[in-house]
Chains A and B, each alone.
Chain A
């Protein structure tokens, strides 16, 4: 059974850097074709994809946020970390991590999400 869980601060100040960790089980990020992505959703708004890291360490970022995002993986800990620099109140959102299955391009399994509020 695949599970993912996001963790990190619930409140950050403007201009600070946000670091979120996705801890997963039920799959390995060394398996060919597998990936873990990050998606966020501001309150009452749509999903917005942020970043995706593949088993081979290939990384993809949202073109509009690329300069502020960094995604990394620690396969020994079954974790994927996302950092977002220069946080702003508009970055207030629920942040989800999700699993990409080998051979497919959907996000088949999602974490429960974690709400991050940006406020001074």
Chain B
């Protein structure tokens, strides 16, 4: 069971806007750690999509946006395209007695109808 909670699946029609939530707790996202998002196509490695809650690496379309509030974060994809169909994962850090450690969400499968 993943530390961060994501919906298993979301769907939308081309051109629509969808959001994927990532829910944590006071020991991870709520502790002030940034949230990052990754996109993964079948059989390939994850690719960084959003870093530092809201920032897009070079080359990522501005259709992708991120936000964070309290113990949760969200990834929004506007103007949905067929090529956006993939798995999406959120990542942050968690606090422990041995220091901060990386935590992932359980992933969300996006289906473009």
* Chain B residue, CB-CB nearest to A104: B51
**Which residues of chain B have C-beta atoms less than 8 A from A48's C-beta?**
2, 104
| B112 on the A face (CB < 8 A) | no
Chain B proximity of A72: nearest CB distance (Å): 18
Q: A106-B36, A107-B48 are in contact. Are A63 and B98 (CB under 8 A)?
A: yes
Whether B34 and A47, one on each chain, are in contact in the complex, defined by CB atoms closer than 8 angstroms, is no
* Chain B residue, CB-CB nearest to A37: B102
Chain B proximity of A50: nearest CB distance (Å): 9
Q: What 0/1 readout, one digit per residue, does chain A (46-62) give for beta carbons within 8 Å of chain B? A: 11110010000000111
Contact of B104 among A46, A63, A109, A112 (CB under 8 A): A46
| A14 on the B face (CB < 8 A) | no
Q: How many residues on B have C-beta within 8 angstroms of the other chain's C-beta atoms?
A: 27
Interface residues on A, range: 20 to 34
**Which residues of chain A have C-beta atoms less than 8 A from B101's C-beta?**
49, 52, 60-63
Whether A96 and B48, one on each chain, are in contact in the complex, defined by CB atoms closer than 8 angstroms, is no
| B70 on the A face (CB < 8 A) | no
Q: What 0/1 readout, one digit per residue, does chain B (7-48) give for beta carbons within 8 Å of chain A? A: 000000000000000000000000001101010000011111
Whether A107 and B91, one on each chain, are in contact in the complex, defined by CB atoms closer than 8 angstroms, is yes
Q: A63-B98, A105-B93, A106-B36 are in contact. Are A47 and B104 (CB under 8 A)?
A: yes
Q: A46-B2, A46-B107 are in contact. Are A108 and B45 (CB under 8 A)?
A: no
**Which residues of chain B have C-beta atoms less than 8 A from A49's C-beta?**
91, 101-104
* Chain A residue, CB-CB nearest to B50: A106
| B89 on the A face (CB < 8 A) | yes
* Chain B residue, CB-CB nearest to A52: B102
Which residues of chain A (25-64) have a CB below 8 Å from chain B?
A: 37, 39, 46-49, 52, 60-63
Task: Give the complex CA separation of A62 and B99 in angstroms.
Answer: 11
| B100 on the A face (CB < 8 A) | yes
Whether A108 and B48, one on each chain, are in contact in the complex, defined by CB atoms closer than 8 angstroms, is yes
Whether A112 and B46, one on each chain, are in contact in the complex, defined by CB atoms closer than 8 angstroms, is no
Report which A residues bind B (CB closer than 8 A): 37, 39, 46-49, 52, 60-63, 66, 96, 104-113
